[in-house]
């Protein structure tokens, strides 16, 4: 499964606002992991000289203001327009006491501003015939709306007001906390959702990603309105904001209007602390938990690079596609077809800003657990001995390039790609060069990342097995 970045389809625990008022923390299909190295030297010079940065990438017009906010627009003549606002904050910036606050705040922004009361924002967008939603992940939070092109400015005005002027009403805060706590309870009953959260916590002894997006019951319960207002003012700042517009608009005019509406973004004079990127893994940890499930759910993890290691990221995209993407992958062919050990299986990795995880996942009968774990480990580490064939390499490249194209068919897909890369790297370069990087990947590149990230590491393993009377946890 994997995270936003675009090539492989990846699944990442991400909290998504739903019209019902509940979020669904789910295996969210997002475009797999292709990203471009961020030039800190360039940004430092921009900040130093307080210049405005204007340039065009592949018909994208991009401007960065003196205060650090980024605006990007692209003309797509299909009669609709998507406005996608990305904020560089998520659970990676939280600590134990504030875990879950990014996701909770995402809910609260929909509760209104001084201009739009409770429920008025939803009614306003519905009256425009638009659709909108939001999502919170580990490295980002984003809010997006799609409307018919004639209603672009009305939608822009509404989402800009929501991002900058949320009131975080005390009464609504207390009501929404109950919603979030219920969402937490429901998450514990979702085998996949529980597994993905727990495997991150189990795998990392130290990491910005060791905490869940949703938070814990205790951390959510302990959040106060005062804590949220402080977090909001110190994270939703100009330098953390990327406003992406794709659709039937003139890019120059669209950015001009967007900049006119986003004038109240706070400067980062007292920013919320950025995470410590130091990462330490719990290698070889095994944990089996009895739960109310009808089959066994298995997760196994190995280390993976952060987004700035672009060559390694692309090579791992290709390698994990060969090993675990689809029915022709090695894991599926051997574990499902040949040995009948599992019901489903896959392998991919979550590409985050900082080092993350390669994740194998499967469902199976409990009696096959030990054999499946051992076989999966051998298949993954054994790729350096049973080398990928030329046919496997070319097929994986086709899959990745096709998925990248499919992911950018819509205005929301294009805004998502641009927003992801701008938020995590400060540049769209990786996205624009991703397919050429895939084409350039060689067998030697695959072996290099296998030897670095897969072969020398014993995976952390978590399994949820059907509960028996007197269920117990077992951990090695």
Domain-embedded: residue 200:
yes
139 and 95 within one domain: yes
The CA-atom distances, in angstroms, between 115 and each of 83, 151, 154, 166, 344 are: 20, 19, 14, 10, 50
Question: Of 214, 234, 261, which marks where a domain is finished?
Answer: 261
What average pLDDT does the chain have? 88
pLDDT in tens, 39-60: 333 333 333 322 333 344 468 9
Q: What is the pLDDT of residue 273?
A: 94
pLDDT in tens, 102-147: 999 999 999 999 999 999 999 999 999 999 999 999 999 999 999 9
286 and 205 within one domain: no
β-pair partners for 242 = 70, 86
Interatomic CA distance for residues 391 and 396, integer angstroms? 9
Domain-embedded: residue 266:
no
Instruction: Give the number of other CB atoms < 10 A from CB of residue 380.
Output: 25
Give the confidence band of 476 by pLDDT, cuts at 50, 70, 90: low
Lowest-pLDDT range, 37-46, 125-134, 247-256, 441-450? 37-46
Q: What is the pLDDT of residue 17?
A: 38
216 and 288 within one domain: no
Tokens encoding 465: 């097995």
Instruction: Give the number of other CB atoms < 10 A from CB of residue 174.
Output: 11
Domain-embedded: residue 273:
no
The CA-atom distances, in angstroms, between 432 and each of 6, 59, 89, 405, 437 are: 10, 11, 24, 11, 10
Res. 5: pLDDT tops 70: no
Question: Of 227, 261, 295, which marks where a domain is finished?
Answer: 261
Cα Dmax for the chain = 67
Res. 15: pLDDT tops 90: no
Res. 407: pLDDT tops 90: no
pLDDT in tens, 181-237: 999 999 999 999 999 999 999 999 999 999 999 999 999 999 999 999 999 999 999
Q: What is the pLDDT of residue 53?
A: 36
Give the CATH number of the domain where residue 147 resides.
3.30.830.10
pLDDT in tens, 291-301: 999 999 999 99
């Amino acid at each position: 499964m994997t995270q936003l970045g675009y090539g492989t389809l990846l699944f990442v625990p991400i909290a998504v606002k739903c019209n019902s008022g509940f979020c669904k923390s789910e295996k969210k299909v997002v475009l797999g992991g292709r990203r471009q190295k961020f030039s800190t030297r360039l940004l430092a010079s921009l900040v130093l000289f307080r210049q405005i940065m204007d340039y065009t990438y592949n018909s994208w017009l991009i401007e960065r203001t003196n205060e650090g906010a980024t605006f990007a627009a692209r003309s797509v003549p299909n009669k609709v327009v998507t406005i996608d606002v990305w904020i560089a904050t998520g659970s990676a910036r939280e600590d134990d006491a504030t875990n879950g606050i990014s996701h909770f705040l995402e809910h609260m922004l929909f509760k209104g501003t001084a201009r739009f009361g409770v429920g008025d924002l939803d009614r306003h967008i519905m009256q425009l015939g638009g659709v909108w939603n939001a999502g919170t992940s580990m490295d980002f939070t984003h809010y997006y709306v799609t409307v018919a092109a004639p209603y672009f400015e009305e939608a822009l005005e509404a989402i800009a007001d929501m991002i900058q002027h949320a009131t975080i009403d005390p009464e609504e805060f207390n009501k929404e906390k109950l919603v979030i706590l219920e969402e937490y309870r429901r998450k514990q009953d979702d085998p996949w959702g529980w597994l993905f959260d727990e495997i991150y916590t189990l795998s990392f002894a130290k990491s910005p990603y060791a905490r869940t997006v949703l938070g814990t019951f205790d951390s959510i319960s302990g959040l106060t309105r005062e804590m949220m207002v402080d977090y909001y003012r110190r994270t939703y700042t100009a330098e953390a904001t990327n406003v992406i517009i794709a659709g039937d608009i003139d890019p120059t005019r669209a950015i001009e209007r967007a900049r006119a509406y986003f004038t109240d973004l706070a400067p980062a004079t007292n920013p919320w602390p950025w995470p410590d990127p130091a990462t330490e893994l719990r290698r070889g940890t095994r944990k089996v938990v009895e739960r109310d499930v009808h089959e066994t759910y298995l997760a196994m993890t190995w280390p993976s690079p952060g987004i700035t290691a672009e060559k390694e990221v692309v090579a791992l995209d290709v390698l994990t596609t060969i090993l675990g993407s689809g029915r022709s992958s090695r894991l599926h062919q051997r574990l499902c077809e040949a040995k009948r050990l599992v019901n489903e299986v896959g392998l991919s990795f979550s590409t985050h800003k900082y080092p993350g995880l390669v994740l194998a996942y499967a469902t199976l009968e409990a009696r096959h657990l030990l054999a499946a774990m051992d076989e999966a480990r051998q298949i993954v580490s054994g790729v350096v001995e049973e080398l990928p064939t030329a046919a496997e390499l070319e097929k994986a490249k086709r899959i990745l390039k096709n998925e990248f194209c499919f992911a950018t068919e819509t205005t929301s897909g294009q805004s998502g790609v641009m927003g992801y890369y701008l938020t995590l790297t400060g540049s769209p370069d990786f996205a624009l060069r991703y397919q050429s990087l895939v084409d350039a990947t060689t067998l030697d590149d695959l072996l290099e990342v296998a030897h670095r990230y897969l072969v020398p590491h014993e995976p952390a393993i978590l399994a949820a097995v059907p509960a028996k009377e007197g269920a117990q946890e077992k951990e090695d």
